[in-house]
Structure 1
Amino acid sequence: MTQFSNIPLAARVQDLQASKIRTIAELGMGEKDVLPLWFGEGAWPTSPFIVEAAVAALQGGNHMYQPNNGAMALREEIARYSNNLFGSDLDVRRITVTPSGMQGLMLTAGLLTSPGDRVVAISPGWPNINGAFAAQGAQIDTVPLLVKNGRWHLDLDQLLGALTPGTKAVVINSPNNPTGWIMPAEDQRAVLAHCRHHGIWIVADDVYSRLSRHENVAPSFLSIALPGDLLISVNSFSKCWSMTGWRLGWIVAPASLEEKLGQLTEFNTSCTAGFVQEAGRIALRDGEAEVADLRERIRIGYEITSQSLAQFEQVEFIKPDGAFYCFFRVRGLTDSFEAAKKILSETKVGLAPGVAFGPEGEGSLRLCYAQPEDRLTEAFARLAPFLNS
């Protein structure tokens, strides 16, 4: 077998770590009877009216290259949607369409960071966020989430203390994957003021902003930031509109970055497929009922999950405030990666290992509860012997 260490690659690429979530998933993909709860992906297909919009666009000849920053019709629809949702006042020049939220994070990392730049992130956190900045050679420092009164909590003073002069960016994913933690609006104001003072970029991963368990939308920096603030918000169609496989997202950034983001897109993917963009436009325009329906399905999934986990004495269930994950601790568990492999092998239930989300996640497992009731019920029946042992 070829060893990567013997191949002359860039040092920052050589040092990248494989996703342990993907490793577990690839062990089980294609296996019969596996219940795949490992990815951040709901179980339901994209709604027919969105699919039909893409088909109509293809049939209408929408096969060609698109503008680097995205089709103007979709950019305008994103501005309308964001302004209505967050109370912002976005100009279309601030919006760049991307082929996935993940690619939006990679564009952002490439735009902001040079090798050696310091970036601060929250942990536990989705590993791909840190990976995007690590791929640019950035130094990643983390601030841990803590458990307080049965909820995930961030020590704001600790975060602000980590945002020292010379820090290039802070990355905040709220609602958070995997914990479901949500940053309160008053904390966002404090972070924004601090970052203004020190000239630090805020990169807000807003992918789960509609999936708050307590309100229609989670607090967003877009509601409080000025047009010239050092803020980039990354979002995606994947979660709320069940479009994970479509690969469609967007960035909101200062208007002065429109040209540079277009250049980076040109050198990366050239553009996002036009018929996919049309599907996204229709999803935003006509999809509020779909979002509401998904939120209700997720609510039911949460109730089943929380009630099921409460039955196991070995499980510490920390209530999420948003997203659609349960990140639960198992007493005595010291190797979540090996545990996830064993669970997959013995129960045919696919879970993500907590250590994949940073050292603070060790001892935990993540389960995506955006699933039908019967699938979750079956999953917990299969997991019972492991969680009781």
Structure 2
Amino acid sequence: MLLTAPAARPVVQNLGASRIREVANAGIGLTGVLPFWFGEPDQETPDFIREAAHASLDAGETFYTPNLGIAPLREAIASYLSRLHGRVGADRVAVTSSGVSALMLLAQMIVSPGDRVVAVTPLWPNLVEIPRILGAEVVKVPLRFGQTWELDLDRLLDALTPGTRAVLINSPNNPTGWTITAAQQERILAHCRQHGIWILADDVYERLVYDGAACAPSFLDIATPEDRLVSAHSFSKSWLMTGWRLGWVVAPEPMMADLGKLIEYNTSCAPSFVQRAGIVAIERGDEIIAHTVERYRAARDFLHARLNELPGITAPLPKGAMYLFFRIDGERDTLALCKRLVREAGLGLAPGSAFGTEGEGYVRWCFASSLARLEDGADRLSRFIGGTR
């Protein structure tokens, strides 16, 4: 009997590898590369958050925790969300081991093989691929490119046909910075209520908005606890905690017991000392968020102006998140372009093709960095464009 070679399921084999990682790998071993490819700030986690983790470890908190998270953190998250969005009970909050895990858990809870899922794109590739891993069909509704990235709401509603299982909305959006409006949310929620469609909201960047608001519009502002709404969040962006791998979800209370089972079978629980750091981040982190938003606003405005001065570049102004997603005229292979930028200019950017076919021709630049580093990077891009390119 002939045996075939060991192999993963076809759907897993067909997943696209991270093209952002591919570009970063091209920079390994090279000196002097400026890395703007990952969605990560250039500042470390504040001392008071790290000290809370140290204190927890020193106290011997190294054992398993409840699947849904320790009660003090669930209550802190609920209080935090209630300040921003109105009453959210701790019985609707579950702690997860990262925002990525939060998204996977929510998808596992509501998506089945063969389901139809609609996604507003360009979009962080993990969020598009998660339903595919589960055997679902993903239908994309692209944003429109212009002075800012905008949603064609009628096109989205037309795509949300009866029988659609869920719609994926990441706002503020990675990679474009597009931010949904409250009026658009009202229409989407009404449409989804009518047809029984789940809304899976990726709210990771909701505090990174630049219009003076405390946070971006959220479906939590308008939905009832009984609505088919699930929300994923992370400590990574707002509190400078990317490496801690801590997140949370909000879901209807009747689903929490089942969510606890999914957490058990995925990660079991988040580490106690990381959760203790999360409590302190929420309770004492408002100044960190305010500082971060002002720093990123200045970085966004500086980089937006510099890029639009360069020939052949059109950079829409992002309303939120921490990225500029800009077009370079004539570029049809941004993966090859970004590899050249690493080798020839020492500049690390993310190729638009990493965010789906509709992202090809664009490049993402994470501006969560100092003005001096951004200026150096812009100068390198300018020299590259002015040279052989």
TM-score of the superposed pair, with normalisation by structure 2: 0.96
Q: Of 170, 175, 187, which aligns to 2:172?
A: 175
Q: Of 354, 364, 367, which aligns to 1:366?
A: 364
Q: Which residue of 2 aligns with 1:56?
A: 55
Q: Which residue of 2 aligns with 1:218?
A: 216
Question: Could you tell me how far 1:15 is from its partner in structure 2?
Answer: 1.7
Question: Could you tell me how far 1:6 is from its partner in structure 2?
Answer: 4.7
Q: Which residue of 2 aligns with 1:21?
A: 20
Task: Look up the equivalent residue of 2:372 and give its one-letter code.
Answer: D
Task: Look up the equivalent residue of 2:77 and give its one-letter code.
Answer: I
Q: Distance in 1 between matches of 2:352 and 2:14?
A: 21
Please state if 1:191 is matched with 2:188. Answer: yes
Q: Distance in 2 between matches of 1:143 and 1:280?
A: 35
* Aligned residue runs from structure 1 range 251-290, under 5 A: 251-290=249-288
Q: Distance in 1 between matches of 2:65 and 2:120?
A: 35
Please state if 1:207 is matched with 2:204. Answer: yes
Q: Which residue of 1 aligns with 2:9?
A: 10
- Count of paired positions: 383
Q: Distance in 2 between matches of 1:165 and 1:275?
A: 45
Q: Of 89, 92, 101, which aligns to 2:90?
A: 92
Task: Look up the equivalent residue of 2:207 and give its one-letter code.
Answer: R
- Is 1:208–1:239's contact at 8 Å kept on the other side of the alignment? yes
Question: Could you tell me how far 1:36 is from its partner in structure 2?
Answer: 0.8
Q: Of 345, 350, 375, which aligns to 1:377?
A: 375
What secondary structure sits across from 2:150 in the alignment?
strand
Q: Distance in 2 between matches of 1:111 and 1:49?
A: 35
- Is 1:330–1:387's contact at 8 Å kept on the other side of the alignment? no
Residues 158-190 of structure 1 deviation map (CA, whole Å, 9 limit, x = unaligned): 100000111110000000011100110011010
TM-score of the superposed pair, with normalisation by structure 1: 0.96
- Is 1:151–1:320's contact at 8 Å kept on the other side of the alignment? yes
Q: Distance in 2 between matches of 1:369 and 1:384?
A: 17
What secondary structure sits across from 1:122 in the alignment?
strand
Q: Distance in 1 between matches of 2:80 and 2:111?
A: 29
Q: Which residue of 2 aligns with 1:299?
A: 297
Residues 194-236 of structure 1 deviation map (CA, whole Å, 9 limit, x = unaligned): 1011111000000000011112210000000000100000000
Q: Distance in 2 between matches of 1:262 and 1:227?
A: 18
What secondary structure sits across from 1:147 in the alignment?
coil
Q: Which residue of 2 aligns with 1:247?
A: 245
Q: Distance in 1 between matches of 2:210 and 2:225?
A: 29
Question: Could you tell me how far 1:332 is from its partner in structure 2?
Answer: 0.7
Q: Distance in 1 between matches of 2:226 and 2:29?
A: 48
Q: Distance in 2 between matches of 1:351 and 1:336?
A: 10
Residues 258-317 of structure 1 deviation map (CA, whole Å, 9 limit, x = unaligned): 111110110111100000001011000010000001111101211220121122121011
Question: Could you tell me how far 1:30 is from its partner in structure 2?
Answer: 5.1
Q: Which residue of 1 aligns with 2:32?
A: 33
What secondary structure sits across from 2:239 in the alignment?
coil
- Is 1:315–1:387's contact at 8 Å kept on the other side of the alignment? no
Structure 1 ranges of 4+ moved more than 4 A: none
Contiguous gaps of at least 5 residues in structure 2: none
Q: Which residue of 2 aligns with 1:227?
A: 225
* Aligned residue runs from structure 1 range 9-158, under 5 A: 9-29=8-28, 31-87=30-86, 89-148=87-146, 150-158=147-155
Task: Look up the equivalent residue of 1:160 and give its one-letter code.
Answer: L
Q: Distance in 1 between matches of 2:71 and 2:98?
A: 17
Q: Which residue of 2 aligns with 1:237?
A: 235
What CA RMSD, in Å, does the superposition of the two structures yield over aligned residues? 1.2
Q: Distance in 1 between matches of 2:28 and 2:153?
A: 40
Q: Distance in 2 between matches of 1:318 and 1:360?
A: 16
Residues 236-272 of structure 1 deviation map (CA, whole Å, 9 limit, x = unaligned): 0000111000000000000011111110110111100
Q: Distance in 1 between matches of 2:176 and 2:349?
A: 14
Question: Aligned pair in 2 of structure 1 residues 31, 302: CA closer, same or farther (>3 Å)?
Answer: same
Question: Could you tell me how far 1:64 is from its partner in structure 2?
Answer: 0.5
Task: Look up the equivalent residue of 2:167 and give its one-letter code.
Answer: V
Residues 103-147 of structure 1 deviation map (CA, whole Å, 9 limit, x = unaligned): 101111111111111110011111110111111111110001002
Contiguous gaps of at least 5 residues in structure 1: none
Task: Look up the equivalent residue of 1:265 and give its one-letter code.
Answer: I
